[in-house]
Amino acid sequence: MTRIVVVPDRAAVARLVAASIEAWLEQGLAERGRAHLALGGGRTPAAVHAQLASLRADWRNVELWLGDERIANPRRSREGVARNIDLVRATLVDRIGTPVGAVHAVPELSPEDAAASYAREMAARLPEGRLDVAYLGLGPDGHTASLFPHAPELAIETRGCAAVRDAPKPPPLRVTMTIGTLRSARHVIIAATGADKAEAAARILGAPDRAFPASLLGASLTELVLDEAAASLCASELSEYRSV
């Protein structure tokens, strides 16, 4: 069952999400000696990464992955394509005092080749093919990672990665973990802030619908953390309110 928590603002969302991720990493380390965390890009994830950097002292047995990545068009300059791996390095990896067990970047290849390469790396490194934690964002259109409404990639139920060539928001070329990979994670957390996310946050809680890809996570979604604005259309579903 998804735990749904509302907190006052973006800063409180970052603190709560970071605390949940840290607890689940500790669980994975205690059970398997190594933990695997998938992260993404955006303003809220950047704040979460900064909180994680201050919470966790030892990262030597934690491996970092990307839920999705932007791919530069090889016929154009890479300039202007903000890669998620660069954000993760700047907001988390460069801020911590100990080495990270591994930082798995999506290779800068064609979307198809990059997706195949990253899927092979995941198969080789992930115990039982499962992440310990997948931390995801949410778009106003209900997309998560680079799984967009009605996209053909939503039909891929197996674990691995998919190439995206026509994302409706720039850049169009991307690589994303499949819905099968995200569903298989031991813990999945989505954070959303702002009134423009309110409808999408409410739709997550309804029946699976390819028009709102995040809803396809279903019971695999462990925790949904919202600020007050994002929670405005699903107040009756909230598990708890926290002033943190």
The domain ranges of the chain are 3-234
> Per-block average pLDDT, block size 10, for the chain (244 residues)?
91 96 97 96 89 94 98 62 91 93 96 98 94 96 96 94 96 97 98 94 88 95 95 67 46
Q: What is the pLDDT of residue 94?
A: 95
Class of domain 3-234: alpha beta
Write down the pLDDT at residue 238: 52
Angle between helices 43-55 and 84-91 (to 10 degrees): 40
Q: In this predicted structure, what is the pLDDT of residue 40?
A: 87
DSSP 196: G
Asked if 51 and 90 touch (Cβ cutoff 8 Å), the reply is no
The helix/strand/coil state of 224 is strand
112: helix, strand or coil: helix
Instruction: Check residue 77 and give its pLDDT.
Output: 47
pLDDT of residue 186: 98
Q: What angle do CA 200, 206, 210 make, to 5 degrees?
A: 70
